[in-house]
A and B are shown apart, each in its own frame.
Chain A
Amino acid sequence: MLFNSSRSMFNVLDNYLEFFREESCGQCTPCRVGCQQLLKGIKAVKRGEKNAQYLDKLLRLTETMQYTAKCGLGQSVANSFSSIVENFREEMIY
């Protein structure tokens, strides 16, 4: 997916996670709670309530979601999350 350089990648991820949080059917734990944690987590890092290392904890969480979620929705959250957080880490923090 392409975005021009004026786009805030934080907002892009925020938008993705908002979608996943809402569209998760809510059945399985990793997807239902995981999506909520990821969304709240990046906001907390952005606001400075959690330190930057919390992003690494969230990255490990997306790995668990990929391994354990019941369907493709929860399993695929890791793709966008890790791609954005790993490539635009500073945008997530500042």
Chain B
Amino acid sequence: MAKKIKISINGVSVEIDQDTTILDAARQTGVIIPTLCYHKDLCVAGNCRVCIVEIMGQKRLTAACATPCEEGMDILTNSLKVRNSRKHIIELLLSEHNADCTRCYKNGNCELQKLASEYKIMTQDFIRLVPFKNYTIDQFSPSIIKDDSKCIRCQRCVRTCAELQGVNALTVAHKGDQMKITTFFEKAMNDVVCTNCGQCINHCPTGALVEKNYIEEVWDAIADKTKHVIVQTAPAVRVGLGEELGFGPGVRVTGKMVAALKRLGFDAVMDTDFTADLTIMEEGTELLTRLKRKMVDHDPDVKFPMATSCSPGWIKYIEHMYPDYLDHLSTCKSPQQMFGALAKTYYAKARNLDPETIVSVSIMPCTAKKFEANRPEMHDSGYRDVDYVLTTRELAIMIKQAGIDFMRLGDVHYDRLMGESTGAGVIFGATGGVMEAALRTAYELVTGRDVPFDNLNITPVRGMEGVKEATVKIENPLKEWTFLEGVELKCAVAHGLVNAHKVMESIISGESNYQFIEFMACPGGCLGGGGQPIPTNPEIRRKRAEAIYAEDEGMPLRKSHQNPEIIKIYKDFLDHPLSEKSHHLLHTHYSPRDRF
């Protein structure tokens, strides 16, 4: 038990744990202190100074986020001195900010706007500084738009990129009035070591960092009668979308989302979970094939550990940082791109459509998916496999624009052919999900029995710890797999690129001897993705994860190989996992990239 100390906040005596910051102590006692540079995911910076409070007996004000409480402190959060200073600081920030709110993408979800509204800053007494600065908008990245004129220098993006992702694409340059957040040599975002993960967008309090949106393009496609517009929805979208449309965090809105997509005018609404199941079939088989090549054929070229390839942020990260390790990646495309390639081949054939007329849209919790869809190798269908990628947030905008009362929608089921999924596909949205789904299928493929965990729940790979490990011992395999008898399959799961870095370093140093590793670029996996509703914080991620696992538990089928549409696609189209056709459509290759 932590030692308790007594303090007073606005005249009310409270007892709190020692080492609690003034900010947390206030929140615990129901007093809200505004913040801008503070974020629960990040280390404390204390640079915006909006959270200042008065400690009786001290002349200067104190940043509540950066100061621990001390015994006997008498704290005022709303004295005249605090209020006047805070108002000044908000006014200063606004003077340096392009406050053209009605034309801003973040209008309505901006922390600075909210503060200005709370403090009723109605006048512009200070001199507007924006016209004196040579601000430019960087729109070169397919995923991220960076508008310095809206930046308040809170450095949340910088800390995100360094602490959560270890990428350091964004950094602080210059000092004084020239101080700004920029990139290596001030290059454009598409030209630097950026994984497009979008965590900076998710952590930006203003409109300085936003996703490149493709909303109008999708509306145009829907309105075009000559086009057949199909849409896929990623696993994590169903547990995030509700937050943008009036629900609290962790509410599953799968059926309502499908209903809304149909009302928006999409010709077919199908599920990325289906291709998640397909990924498991391909990736699981790939893992077992690699094991066989190593243990039976003693092939020196086969690389272990095998790493998952679903997260495009992680893919770009390894291409930049560990180009010598690209052979370790599974050759499987991500579920989004598998869906895209099948949409213009398998789906087109089954529905008797000209693939030329199909517009393939995906709804993703992710901004790196926009980059992935743009990769030159993603044209295996003969066309661009995925035409437009929208984030969860963009879908919410479309639903609001269409005037759909989301709360009152009934549940609708996905369309057939590529709309059926299992619980294994759903948990792709959480960290550890791909691993769990792969183990459920691979273990059964090898032994003919369920994976030896209670109710298929492989709990060691769940949860929010940065690096998780699990070992599965294979016993009594089927005849074909006898070489695996007694083999301990060592698995690891890493989420957040800073954790991916740790695992990669442990592989390089020879400290670890894993066979299979799941890497996800974003903290918490896709449910904490850069395209998910803002705010995202540890508590919200936990709630979304609970929702994902609840969705899995509620599914009648929970193993990818049981999915009837998966069985059908192998029977009618792909023959078997790793067949020539699947190699052509569902697998890809990676390219080394520079470190600078």
Contacts and interface: CB of A to CB of B under 8 A. Distances in A.
Interface of A: 21-30, 32-37, 40-41, 44, 50, 54, 57, 60-61, 64, 66-70, 75
A25 B175 CA distance: 5
Contacts of B45: 27
B177 A29 contact: no
10 contacts: A22-B176, A24-B175, A27-B153, A29-B50, A32-B176, A34-B92, A40-B127, A57-B125, A67-B59, A70-B47
A66 B52 CA distance: 13
Given A27-B47, A37-B126, A75 B95 contact: no
Contacts of A60: 84, 88
Contact of A68 (B49, B152, B178, B179): B49
B91 to A, nearest CB: 9
Contacts of B95: 33, 37
Nearest to B58: A67
A89 to B, nearest CB: 19
A7 to B, nearest CB: 25
B46 interface: yes
A24 B96 CA distance: 15
Nearest to A37: B126
A64 B85 contact: yes
B93 interface: yes
Interface string B16-58: 0000000000000000000000000000011111101000000
Given A26-B177, A28-B46, A37-B127, 8 more contacts: A25-B175, A26-B174, A26-B176, A41-B126, A54-B125, A60-B84, A68-B60, A68-B85
Interface residues of B, number: 35
Rank and list the top 10 A-B pairs by shortest CB-CB distance, nearest first: A26-B179, A33-B92, A64-B88, A64-B85, A27-B47, A24-B176, A67-B61, A22-B176, A40-B127, A68-B49
B127 A32 contact: no
Contacts of A44: 127
Contacts of B321: none
B81 interface: yes
Contact of A25 (B129, B152, B179): B179
B89 interface: yes
A86 B93 CA distance: 26
B127 A70 contact: no
Contact of A36 (B52, B63, B155, B177): B177
B84 A26 contact: no
A29 B91 CA distance: 10
A61 B45 CA distance: 23
B88 A61 contact: yes
A53 to B, nearest CB: 10
Most chain B CB atoms below 10 A, which of A60, A66, A67 = A67
A25 to B, nearest CB: 5
B153 A64 contact: no
Nearest to B89: A29
A6 to B, nearest CB: 30
Contact of A30 (B46, B92, B153): B92
Contacts of A54: 125
A28 B65 CA distance: 14
Of A25, A26, A60, chain B has the most CB atoms within 10 Å of the CB of A26
Contacts of B59: 67
Given A25-B176, A66-B60, A70-B49, A33 B85 contact: no
Nearest to A74: B49
Indicate the member of A35, A50, A68, A69 with the most B CB atoms within 10 Å.
Answer: A68
Contacts of B48: 28-29
B82 to A, nearest CB: 9
Contacts of B155: 27
Nearest to B59: A67
B179 A33 contact: no
B171 to A, nearest CB: 13
Contacts of A27: 45, 47, 153, 155, 179
A50 to B, nearest CB: 8
A30 B89 contact: yes
B153 A26 contact: yes
Contacts of A25: 175-176, 179
